[in-house]
Amino acid sequence: MVNWKSNKLGDILLLANGLVIILLINLLASFAFYRVDLTEEQRYSIKPQTKHILENLDDGVFVEVYLDGDLNAGFTRLKKAIRETLEEFRVYSGQRVQYTFTDPAEAKSNKARGEFMADLASRGIQPTNVIDKRNGQRVEKLIFPGAIISYGGDETGVMLLKGSKAVAAEEEINQSIEGLEFELASAIYKLSNINEKSVGIVKGHGELDSIRAAGFYNILADAYAVSDVKLSNAVTGFDALIIAKPTRPFSENDKYTLDQYIMNGGRVLFLLDKLEASMDSVSNPDYFAFPYNLELDEMLFKYGVRINPDLIQDQHAAFFPVVTGQSGARPRMQLIEWPFFPLIIEYADHPVTRNLDALQTKFVSTIDTVKASGIRKTPLLFSSRYSRTVGSPVRIDLNEFREQKDNSFEKSFLPVGYLLEGKFTSLYKNRFLPPGVLKESFRDESIPTKLIIIGDGDIATNEINPKTGNPHPLGFDPYTNYTYANEDLILNMLAYLTEENGLIMARNKEVKLRPLDRQKVTEEKTQWQLINLVLPAMLAVAYGVVRTIIRRKRYTGFS
């Protein structure tokens, strides 16, 4: 007979009820998926735009990451962050995202290893030489901090080490960690999206020729449907237009077409040279740079900005070779920092420019803002702390600069690029329209849209290999063999202009570094060792003594 008043039975029933409740909670939780991120900066959370892409994948995604093996502390941290990000992708994609880590150095032979690494480099995954000191010895290792992403029979390479080289190595890795979600998600989106955005390159005003813009066209064609556009007819069907380094004036009809494209919600990226300056003419001692007559000043002024007729000289500049003497029958060359080629390292804290490496510019002009109702103006790019401006006409003499000792670079953070957002007022409001246009289709105010204006057209130009005649990649400097962030900036600007899903906002992710204070660690080392080693033992002993005393008082009174 069951004794319902038995303590033992009560304990068994309590345990059984607890197990049933746990099972019910787990069963209910299986129908309601959720994840909780308790970190201050939400480092383990991904953006809603990324979740939407992952939840709507029609096929499996396979990611092979080439960051494995014997890594130092910094790259081990990057590898861990990559794994955590991909694990979040796997969960939110319903197991469609799968990944693996591979060490390229594990190839069986030197020949196989070399071929493997060359193949990775051809896919855009450039190696990084890591130098460490271990046990007092200098250790070098070549690593490939990137991944190959495959989807639906297509694949693409993506670099995962992307940050400013001007900061410390630890901070560069931290910037790369902040950009992991965007780099991986944008690569998956590019492979899975069947509806390519359409980008038009405006032609007919002396814009960049095919050889000087080859790198520019290549990066655009990899992500967008690219077409040349003439403004002689109405422009429709493009998600964005690019005006890259025009040298001849825009006619009234061309300006009207462009204006109405913007009034109807079109987005435009302006890459404009204000002054006609070229390195081909600097050897002429009487060479002066004068403003181009593009006939766009009034339009840009109406929209809220003015590109000034000046050139920036900057102490933080790219190198250019000059002849410094003769070595036998051959000229002796030396690289000097050419101040008319500013390297942009100061950016706004904005998704377009956040954590970018240095940007190479040539003969760049400053930009001022003017009053334009309803327009939000965001400066994106700035000169360095030590810069100055030279007003038009600007004398450009390489030899004169090499000899001068003027170091008065007293201006700081001059803006050279702006993002404009809002409802723009038409240039032709309360004005006569160009002959032949239909007044019925005229709009005097735009729907909300975006424009980006950069005071340099050369950020979209590539260098030419003098030996082969082939174009170098965009942003590659043949004198230093360094690739600047021109490509990343252009792709980020277009992504911000064209993407309605806002994936570019994933670049706003922040992971805070919390380094230890080394001096404080040295001073308080003994104190914290005692707290962590001795205090727990003392607490355990104290607990045992107190418990013993309590037991003695409780039970010694019984006979």
Distance between CA atoms of residues 358 and 484, nearest Å = 6
Question: CB count, 10 Å around CB of 235?
Answer: 19
Question: CB count, 10 Å around CB of 527?
Answer: 9
Tokens of residue 464, six digits:
């030419």
Distance between CA atoms of residues 401 and 383, nearest Å = 20
- pLDDT for 379 equals 96
- pLDDT for 275 equals 93
Distance between CA atoms of residues 559 and 557, nearest Å = 7
- pLDDT for 240 equals 95
Rounded to the nearest 10 degrees, what angle do helices 48-55 and 73-92 cross at? 60
CA 295, chain centre distance (Å): 33
Tokens of residue 451, six digits:
């424009």
Question: CB count, 10 Å around CB of 134?
Answer: 9
Beta-carbon contacts of 376 under 8 Å, excluding residues fewer than 6 positions away, are 420, 421, 422
The domains found in the chain, sorted by start residue, are 48-191 (3.40.30), 198-324+331-498 (3.40.50), 518-545 (no CATH)
- pLDDT for 35 equals 66
* pTM: predicted TM-score of the whole model, two decimal places: 0.83
Tokens of residue 97, six digits:
């995202």
Identify the helix (H) or strand (E) that includes residue 14: helix 7-29
The overall longest dimension of the chain from CA atoms, in Å, is: 118
Q: What DSSP letter does each residue of 127-144 carry, written as one string?
A: -EEEEEEETTEEEEEEE-
Residue type present at position 153? G
Q: Show pLDDT as tens, one digit a residue, over the chain (559 residues).
A: 556 566 676 777 778 888 888 888 877 766 665 667 666 666 777 888 888 889 988 899 999 998 888 888 888 899 999 999 999 999 889 899 999 998 887 766 777 777 777 887 778 788 888 777 766 677 777 888 889 999 988 888 899 888 888 777 888 888 888 889 999 999 998 888 888 899 999 999 999 888 889 999 999 998 899 999 999 888 888 999 999 999 999 999 999 999 999 999 999 999 999 999 888 777 677 788 899 999 999 999 999 999 999 999 999 999 888 776 666 667 777 788 889 999 999 999 999 999 899 999 999 999 999 999 989 999 999 999 999 999 989 888 776 666 555 668 889 999 999 999 999 999 999 888 888 887 888 999 999 999 999 999 999 999 998 888 899 999 999 988 889 999 999 999 999 999 866 788 877 777 766 666 667 777 778 888 888 888 888 888 888 888 888 888 877 755 5
Tokens of residue 237, six digits:
């069907």
Bridge partner residues of 225 (DSSP): 198
3-state secondary structure of 324: strand
Q: Of the candidates 116, 118, 95, 98, which has an alpha carbon nearest to the alpha carbon of residue 107?
A: 116
Q: Is the dihedral of CA 400, 403, 404, 409 positive or negative?
A: positive
